[in-house]
Structure 1
Amino acid sequence: MVDTKENILQAALRLFSQDGYEAVSVSAIAAKLGVTKPALYKHYKSKRDIFDHIVERMVEIDMQKAAAFDVPVGAFVQTPGVSREAVLEKIKSFSLAMFRYWTEDRFASNFRKMLTLEQYRNPEAAALLNRYLTGGVIDYTEDLMREAIASTAYRDKDVKVLAVEYFAPIYLMMNRYDGTENKADAVQMVEKHIEYFMDTLYMETRGKK
């Protein structure tokens, strides 16, 4: 049995990701699905109701993914004997998984594109983008970097700058991924960046040049 409500949600998000939330009407969503507006209103009260359900779905997905993406801050303190190199490897895995999720998962990718389009005209979209893909990720990465260089000669480095230096190219390549036919090359560039950055950081935390 076709899940009409789910189809409406997916179709609306695809349109929002292409044209922006403000530019898409309920009529356009209904036309995309080949249904009437009254038929659509049986499932959602308004375009805003559809948007709210999209955000609600994203919250659910984010909670589900959190455990898989988790690189717990405090690993050095809480887990005796864990090596700094092992934690850096976890950060690598987390970063690549995050990149693949936001580019390859259809729902997450369209959600990201929608927020990117709407961020300059919709404060709510800007706040959501900051939560999921800019400020929130940088804050978390900052905590990880702080831990990675703790008790080393580099402990006084500005970890916020370090976090931005690390995450900014990854975020840039998400947009590059969207605009290129060679998706594999974009993924490879991210892998190279992560590997290079973490290898350099590991050498620094060991006091090497």
Structure 2
Amino acid sequence: MRDTKKSILLSALGLFARDGYEAVPVSAIAGELGITKGALYKHYKNKRDIFDSIVSRMERHDAERANEFQMPTGSFSHMEEEYLRVTVDRLVEYGKAQFRYWTQDSFASSFRRMLTLEQYRSPEMGRLYQQYLVSGPLGYVADIFGSLGYVDPMEKALGFYGPMFLMYSVYDGAEAKDGIIAAADSYLEKTGNRLREEKNI
């Protein structure tokens, strides 16, 4: 039963990423798996229930990945000590891993595409797009630079995260995707070097 529930979730997200959340009926999700709508409803109450489960899974993945890299999992106001323990080296490695995650992980990349498609169609989708891909990560990085003592942490955050965000779209359209990964790594490493030189560390 758990495998069927997971298959429904993944198939639904794939369709949402391709066609948009609003455009995909429950019948299309069931048809993708070769099951009836009735069989699908044994696992999820409706399409909204599937969507909520997708978001819950992303929240868990977010926290797990931050913990894996010993990065803060909450806001600066609630986790000041954790922010103060972040180093430039750790931030660079986390940035490289996150770029791969949002481009190469099938669940995360489909979630990103879904939010990109839907951001202007619903206030909720717009908020999620900002939370996961724009103002959320930008503010997070700015708080880290602030805790590291850099002048104008938002400017530093724009310089660090802005090119990453742009390269998500470059990656999507590229044929030589490995080259984009290498370019992202190189940019983050060079940015890390500049940041260390600025602080003499």
The Cα of 1:22 is off from its aligned counterpart by 0.7
Matched residue, 1:117: 117
CA contact (8 A) 2:115 2:126 kept: yes
The Cα of 1:146 is off from its aligned counterpart by 2.2
Q: Which moved more, 1:172-181 or 1:15-24?
A: 172-181
Matched residue, 1:102: 102
**Percentage identity across aligned positions?**
45
Equivalent residues in 2 for 1:40-119, closer than 5 Å: 40-71=40-71, 72-75=82-85, 87-119=87-119
Q: Distance in 2 between matches of 1:2 and 1:94?
A: 31
TM-score between the two structures when normalised by the length of structure 2: 0.88
Q: Distance in 2 between matches of 1:145 and 1:112?
A: 25
CA root-mean-square deviation: 1.9
Consecutive unaligned residues in structure 1, runs of 5 or more: 77-86
CA contact (8 A) 1:70 1:94 kept: no
Q: Distance in 2 between matches of 1:68 and 1:129?
A: 23
2:184 to 169, 181, 190: 190
The Cα of 1:97 is off from its aligned counterpart by 0.9
Q: How many residues align?
A: 191
Which structure 1 residue ranges, 4+ long, deviate > 6 Å from structure 2? none
CA contact (8 A) 1:96 1:190 kept: yes
CA contact (8 A) 1:69 1:98 kept: no
Matched residue, 1:81: none
1:159 to 134, 137, 153: 153
Matched residue, 2:172: 178
